[in-house]
Copies of this chain bind each other. A is one copy, B any other.
Amino acid sequence: MIVDISKKILIVGLGLLGGSYAKALKRFGFHISAITKEQSSIDYAIAEKIIDEGSTELDERIIGEADMVIFALYPHIFIEWIEKNQHLLKSGAFITDVTGVKCSVVYKVQEMLRPDVEFVAAHPMAGREVSGVENSTDKIFAGANYIVTPTEKNTPEAISTCMELGRLLGFANVTALSPEEHDEMIGFLSQLTHCIAVTLMTCNDKEDMEKFTGDSFRDLTRIARINDLMWSELFIENKEVLINHMNSFIDKFNELKSMLEAEDVDSMRAMMRHSTRRRALFDKK
C-alpha cells in the first residue's frame, strides 16, 4: 500500500496522540474515522473537522472500510483488540501502532495476526504532560523522532508505508530499529529518565521547598508528573532492559558518592568533564 489520499484511515483510540495523528493527516485530505471510548471525544473531533466520522462501538462498516488502521492504545489493550476483533479488518489492510515498548507487543501481534493484514510497529517519540483529544496538536511532531521497528515478517512495501506515514505526520527524523534495539534505547533515554524524575520527586517530602526551587530541579522533575497507568505498564513490559539500566545508573551514582566521600577531586572532575563532553553531543542541532 502506498499512502495516497484516496485511502481511508481509521484511528483506534482518540486521545492526545490519536487526535494529533488525525490533525496532522487531515491537512492532506484523507478520509479519517475514529473508534474510541468516549462520545465526547468523537463529538469534539468532528466539530474540529479532524475526523469525518466515528463511533464508540465496534462499527463493522467503519473498521471494514479502513485501508490503514492506527492503534493509539495502551499495549495490553491493543493486543486484546487484535485478539478479539481482527476478523473485522479489511483484507489487505495496513496496521500500525504508537506503543512505547516494542518487543512485548510486536511479536505477539504479528504472531496472531491474519496473513492478509500487515502490522508494522512504530513509536512516535512525542507527547505532552496533558492528555485527551482536546489537547492534541500536530506541533508535537515537529523536531521529534519517529522510529519504525520492522521484523522479518514485514514486507519492504509495508515498511516504506510506515516510514512514509511518519514523514506525513511531520516528524523531523524517521528511522528504523529492530524491536530489541528500540527497547534497549528507549529503556535508557525515556524509561530510566522517568524512574529518576519520579524518585527525585518522592525521596524528600520536606515542605516549602518550592519557594527556593530553581530551573535545575524543575527541569529534572518536569516528567515526574506522570500517567501512572501508562508508565507502570510500559516499565513492566520492558522490565529486564529497564532494570539493567537502573543498575548501571546506581553503580555510577555510587561511584560518584565514593569519590565525594573520599574527597577525590580529580576523579570527580574527570567524571564531570566526561559528562560535559558527552552532553555536547545531545544539543539540539
Q: Which residues of A contact B (CB under 8 A)?
A: 125-126, 144-145, 147, 173, 175, 177, 185-186, 188-190, 192-206, 209-214, 216-229, 231-233, 235-236, 239, 242-243, 245-254, 256-257, 260-261, 263, 265, 268-276, 278-282, 284
Question: Which residues of chain B are near A222, meaning CB under 8 Å?
Answer: 216, 219, 279
A233–B274 Cα distance when bound, in Å, is: 17
Contacts of A265 in B (CB 8 A): 232-233, 236
B contact residues around A260 at 8 Å (CB): 235-236, 239, 242-243, 246
Given contacts A147-B212, A209-B188, A279-B224, contact A248 B193 (CB under 8 A): no
Complex-state Cα separation, A228 to B208, whole angstroms: 30
* B272 lies within 8 A of A228 (CB): yes
Q: Shortest CB–CB separation between residue A262 and chain B, in angstroms?
A: 10
Partner of A217, one of B193, B228, B275: B193
Q: Which residues of B contact A213 (CB under 8 A)?
A: 145, 189, 282
Q: Are A197 and B220 in contact (CB under 8 A)?
A: yes
Bound together, the chains give a CA A130 to CA B225 distance in angstroms of 29
Extra contacts, 13 of them, besides A224-B276, A246-B257 (Cβ < 8 A), are A188-B204, A188-B209, A190-B217, A197-B216, A199-B256, A201-B278, A219-B219, A224-B275, A226-B275, A228-B272, A232-B272, A235-B268, A247-B257
Q: Are A252 and B202 in contact (CB under 8 A)?
A: yes
Output the nearest chain B residue to A219 by Cβ-Cβ distance. Answer: B219
Find chain B residues with CB under 8 A from A243 CB: 257, 260-261
Residue of B nearest to A207 (CB): B281
Q: Is the CB of A250 within 8 A of B256?
A: no
Whether the pair B196, A253 counts as a contact (CB closer than 8 A) is: yes
Is the beta-carbon distance between A219 and B216 smaller than 8 angstroms?
A: no
Residues of B within 8 A of A268 (CB): 228, 232, 235
Given the complex of chains A and B, what is the CA–CA distance between A222 and B213 in angstroms?
16
Q: How far, in angstroms, from A3 to B53 measured CA to CA in the complex?
A: 68
The answer to whether A216 and B200 have CB atoms under 8 Å apart is no
Q: Are A212 and B279 in contact (CB under 8 A)?
A: no
Which residue of the partner chain B has the closest CB to A223?
A: B216
Question: With a CB–CB cut-off of 8 A, which chain B residues contact A250?
Answer: 250, 253-254, 257
**A219: B residues at CB distance < 8 A:** 219-220, 222-223
Contact B282 A210 (CB under 8 A): yes
